[in-house]
Chains A and B, each alone.
Chain A
Amino acid sequence: MAKLSLSELRSIREREERNLKKRDIHGRTVHVVVAMGTSGINAGAKVTLNAIADEVEKQGLGNVIITQTGSAYPNPEPVVEVFTPKDGLVVYGSVDKDAAIRIVSEHLVGGKIVEDKKIELKEEE
């Protein structure tokens, strides 16, 4: 009797592939950057980050990279930058948990910018 059947091997592969793919960043075109400076975290950026990460995972979006940045913005925090090939860079302000979920489902999945949360980023040199 074989220890592992063909189908068991395949299910291990399927399960592990999902985990391994998370590390593969090549070909990911959508970037979400959450501002996690001291003031950002104070304003709730950590909740925002977790909400985005959970929602991306839930929706099974394989082309998204979520990263953090430390820079502080003179903007209503928490600030989230979304970069897509279609719309380029869009910056959102006052992103709470609900707004985070909306950004993922409307902007990342639906391709529609969440206009009411959009802000103009002040250029800083």
Chain B
Amino acid sequence: MGFKNYILVCGGTGCESSRSDQIYHALIDEAQAQGVSDQVQVIKTGCFGFCEQGPIVKILPEDSFYVQVKPEDAKELIAEHVIKGREVTRLLYNKAPRKAYEEVEDIKFYQKQLRIVLRNCGSIDPENIDEYIAADGYKALEKVLFEMTPDQVIDELKTAGLRGRGGAGFPTWMKWNFTKQAEGDEKYVVCNADEGDPGAYMDRSTLEGDPHSVLEAMTICGHTIGAHHGYIYIRAEYPLAIHRLEVAMKQAREYGLLGKDILGSGFDYDIEIRLGAGAFVCGEETALLQSIEGHRGMPQPRPPFPAVKGLWGKPTVINNVETWANVAQIINKGGAWFASIGTADSHGTKVFALTGKICNSGLVEVPMGTTLREIVYDIGGGIAHGKKFKAVQTGGPSGGVITEENLDTPIDFGGLQKIGSMMGSGGMIVMDEDDCIVDVAKFYLNFTVDESCGKCAPCRIGGKSLCNILEKITQGKGEPEDIKQIQQIAHAMRIGSLCALGQTAPNPVLSSLRYFPEEYQAHIHDKKCPSGKCKKLISYEINPSKCIGCTACSRKCPVGAISGEVKKPHKINGNVCIKCGVCKETCKFSAIEIH
């Protein structure tokens, strides 16, 4: 007698922080206590992507999608759903009643998605190698070891047109080919898992949900280019991903899918994990290699490129996690299949981490060429709390803003560059009308200034100077010449910085200047912040026609800036007010306005 129900519990970092691990154990315990542990299998999977609604629990075969589940709900789920076959409506995402035999329509969040990289995330147990093998795992490795020549593998990648998902979009087959052709007795394969863009977490989720897909791809690469050693460089801030990788590597070694004479092919290959300390600059490939070697993580001039002179001075292929996760699928299904997805410029899919002021934040994977409008409105469900859309920041601190007018631009590497942003690793931060564009640019610059390694002057000094100017502007001390100076410094940083961190650091400022010049002008000339974010440029005032004198705000004000008689309009003393905004939150009559 097989299991009648399968319960999939999300085991991604997001859901685990909301106690999904406790839910998992509670479900097992409850199934035991209620005597149905032989009928139901509880499986902890990788990230479902719908992080907004987590923790997520999915029960099959009914395909019931339960959201925001708590450990306390386990008892009811087992008693009602598993034993009595009644869905627990209050926990369902889609609460509309349906007949049991009705086709389940995909939740809107998933309708436009196409999952290649995340294909196994949320469906298999990442800590069980057998499940990965069952889902066509290590099939591509078989093919590469026994049926294909290294040149055929590279040709397949070339046909596929896979481009690096770390941000720059360099053709993967070229990297592999250069390294293969490079002379050298020893070569290396490196996985860049030093994901650092604010808001981006696709690499983490891929490693947590499907670690074997990366191990398999790295082994394929090793065989193709003639390397016997791989390194995964991952930041220590990703403990769960590291744990899953370690489990996966241990299981792969037990099966001999890593180690000596893999599957009897005579090919030896193994992988090591190297932990990074979380420096953003170590995502830059030359700095990353320095860090693996035990040096301080500082970028090196290129050329020589890693393909010629990389780790320990040997030819090295270095790809990002998401790039690796595509490889086995391309070998299995063929390059032509992959090339048929996406646009002429960029093939395949891209995973985006959708965050910010959006209804459905989460991890989405869409074919290249999907428009931002589809991502923000159809998948993301639009702007939260009925606010107005302002812009989306893509490409993290190296990218730029995309505004309403470009929402229908198909997203691919070239398309994003044309509108002044970039793909980057796929972070997408949505801003609404309450976000001040100058403030956002300042945030990203502060980030890159913090993360600059300080090796070259344009980045070290330029970044700090830009930051100071933006600070000045948000303080209301901006001068008309500031704009020109921003452009000059940005230009110098672009051409003078050693690595991409410095070269692209001014992008958020430049792109926001390009699309929101009037907002900069409002700060500089009118000394006003239109979105009411910059504290030095705003004042809180009470609208006497709306204030009923309930005294709620004056009681809450931490500095006693509000005075007035009961049942009569109150007043805020601007000299005392610290602009904390508590009064505005407290007022039930919308009487407090920002000017």
Contacts and interface: CB of A to CB of B under 8 A. Distances in A.
Interface stretch (B9-17, B138-146, B498-506, B555-563): B138-146
A81 B264 CA distance: 51
A22 B3 contact: yes
A75 interface: no
13 contacts: A2-B261, A6-B263, A9-B133, A9-B255, A9-B257, A16-B131, A20-B124, A22-B6, A34-B85, A50-B1, A57-B1, A66-B61, A70-B84
A36 B62 CA distance: 15
Contact of B61 (A6, A19, A67): A67
A57 B2 contact: yes
A69 to B, nearest CB: 5
Given A3-B256, A66-B4, A37 B134 contact: no
Interface in A44-67: 49-50, 53-54, 57, 65-67
B1 A68 contact: no
A31 B99 CA distance: 11
Contacts of B546: none
Interface of A: 1-6, 9, 12-13, 16-17, 19-20, 22-23, 25, 28, 31, 33-34, 36-37, 49-50, 53-54, 57, 65-70, 81, 83, 89
B450 interface: no
Contacts of B8: 23
B185 interface: no
Interface string B252-295: 00111101111111000000000000000000000000000000
Nearest to A54: B1
Given A69-B86, A70-B84, A2 B263 contact: yes
Contact of A4 (B1, B123, B255): B255
For the residues of A in contact with B, the DSSP-based class is mixed
Given A9-B138, A13-B139, 19 more contacts: A2-B262, A2-B263, A3-B256, A5-B264, A9-B133, A9-B255, A13-B138, A19-B134, A20-B134, A22-B6, A28-B61, A31-B101, A36-B84, A53-B2, A54-B1, A65-B61, A65-B101, A67-B61, A68-B85
A19 B6 CA distance: 11
B100 interface: yes
B33 interface: no
B130 interface: yes
Given A22-B3, A65-B61, A67-B85, A5 B263 contact: yes
A77 B260 CA distance: 61
B131 A22 contact: no
Interface in B133-188: 133-139, 142, 146
A86 B259 CA distance: 53
A25 B123 CA distance: 11
